[in-house]
């Protein structure tokens, strides 16, 4: 077997770290991330508070862990939701073709015409700031991306001889799509989903930073950043920790996605 590419290994380690911490926060955090302790604000790192406390005396490690969980949940729901709708639309466009395909793809182009993050900010601003709306906004910007990827790959599969054989065996387009097209585009879609996961984490952080995502007292890396901003000179570490978390998570999923693509794309495999 060919050795795994380095970007895949590094990405997988970072992702496991972030997901592991997020999963751990479900059952255990060092402290309750929302308990205030005004007397202990701006605390130095101690054996009790590993990274110290923030301006309201909350434990930073606990907040970062809870934020990881929120961030993963938002990204997961948003990518699953946007991805399913997008893939379904892409498959539909590919199966029916003609004017249906034209309409779906021109709508997707419309989606691409807006900068994704700006579009999410606009949606969240219009429908009011809340975590649910942030999820919906991020899901929405994922729809055209997945629709385009799914349609492009599906169009290739439709020309395969086994699809012809299935048609010759009297299968209708829905059955062929489900049995033959979807399994054969799964690899491409999974790679795309991993990359979009990184984008979704970034989008959630950005929305929360602008106050359009997670609302207090829910923890979020983006919100921690925006709160730390005014205290930059007083306590720069408050901004560094959540920033570092965002970098690790986004880099991890980005590298994992690239690595998966290298593994699943035979053209790149040969070049390696």
Partner 1 sequence: MFEMQNMTVRFSIGEALRGVSLRIAPGDRLGIVGESGSGKSMLAACLMGMVPDAATIDGTLTIDGTNMTHASEAKWQTIRARRAAMIFQEPMSALNPLRRVGDTVAEPIYVHMGLNKAQARDRVLGLFEEVGIPDPASRFRMFPHELSGGQRQRVLIALALACDPQLLIADEPTTALDANIALKITDLLVHLSQSRNMALVFISHDLSAVARATTDITVMYGGDFVERGVTAEVLSNPMHPYTQGLLAARPSPRAVSRDANGSRRRLPTIPGTVPPLHKMARGCRFAGRCALERGECASVRPLPFGPRRITCHAVSEEMT
> Under the rule (CB under 8 A), what is the footprint of partner 1?
160-162, 164-172, 175, 179-180, 183-184
CB-based contact 53:42 (threshold 8 Å):
yes
CB of 23 to partner 1, least distance (A): 31
CB of 182 to partner 1, least distance (A): 10
> How would you write the chain as a 3-class SS string?
CCCCCHHHHHHHHHHHHHHHHHHHHHHCCCCCCCCCCHHHCCCCCCCCCCCCECCCCCEHHHHHHHHHHHHHHHHHHHHHHHHHHHHHHHHHHHHHCHHHHHHHHHHHHHHHHCCHHHHHHHHHHHHCCCHHHHHHHHHHHHHHHHHHHHHHHHHHHHCCHHHHHHHHCCCCHHHHHHHHHHHHHHHHHHHHHHHHHHHHHHHHHHHHHCCCCCCCCCCCHHHHHHHHHCCCCCCCHHHHHHHHHHHHHHHHHHHHHHHHHHHHCHHHHHHC
**3/170 with CB nearer partner 1:** 170
CB of 180 to partner 1, least distance (A): 5
CB of 154 to partner 1, least distance (A): 14
**24/174 with CB nearer partner 1:** 174
**118/164 with CB nearer partner 1:** 164
CB of 9 to partner 1, least distance (A): 26
> Which residues are 53's β-sheet partners?
59
**169/271 with CB nearer partner 1:** 169
CB of 162 to partner 1, least distance (A): 4
**237/265 with CB nearer partner 1:** 265
CB of 264 to partner 1, least distance (A): 13
**100/218 with CB nearer partner 1:** 100
Sign of the alpha-carbon torsion through 68, 74, 77, 80: negative
> How far lies 67's CA from each of 71, 175, 192, 212, 225, in Å?
6, 42, 24, 15, 12
**6/160 with CB nearer partner 1:** 160
């Amino acid at each position: 077997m060919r050795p795994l590419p380095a970007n895949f290994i590094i990405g997988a380690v970072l992702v496991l770290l972030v997901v592991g911490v997020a999963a751990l926060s479900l059952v255990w955090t060092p402290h309750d991330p929302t308990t205030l302790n005004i007397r202990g604000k701006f605390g130095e790192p101690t054996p009790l508070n590993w990274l110290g406390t923030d301006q309201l005396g909350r434990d930073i490690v606990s907040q970062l862990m809870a934020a990881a969980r929120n961030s993963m949940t938002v990204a997961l729901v948003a990518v699953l939701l946007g991805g399913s709708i997008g893939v379904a639309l892409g498959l539909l466009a590919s199966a029916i073709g003609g004017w249906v395909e034209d309409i779906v793809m021109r709508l997707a182009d419309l989606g691409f015409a807006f900068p994704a993050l700006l579009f999410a900010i606009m949606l969240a601003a219009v429908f009011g700031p809340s975590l649910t709306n942030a999820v919906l906004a991020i899901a929405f910007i994922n729809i055209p991306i997945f629709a385009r990827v799914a349609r492009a790959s599906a169009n290739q599969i439709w020309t395969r001889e086994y699809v012809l054989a299935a048609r010759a065996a009297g299968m209708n387009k829905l059955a062929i799509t489900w049995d033959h097209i979807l399994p054969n585009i799964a690899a491409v879609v999974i790679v795309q989903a991993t990359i979009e996961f990184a984008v979704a984490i970034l989008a959630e952080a950005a929305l929360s930073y602008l106050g359009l995502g997670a609302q207090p007292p829910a923890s979020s890396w983006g919100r921690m950043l925006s709160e730390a901003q005014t205290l930059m000179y007083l306590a720069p570490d408050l901004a560094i920790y959540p920033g570092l978390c965002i970098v690790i998570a986004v880099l991890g999923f980005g590298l994992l996605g690239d690595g998966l693509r290298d593994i699943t794309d035979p053209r790149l495999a040969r070049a390696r």
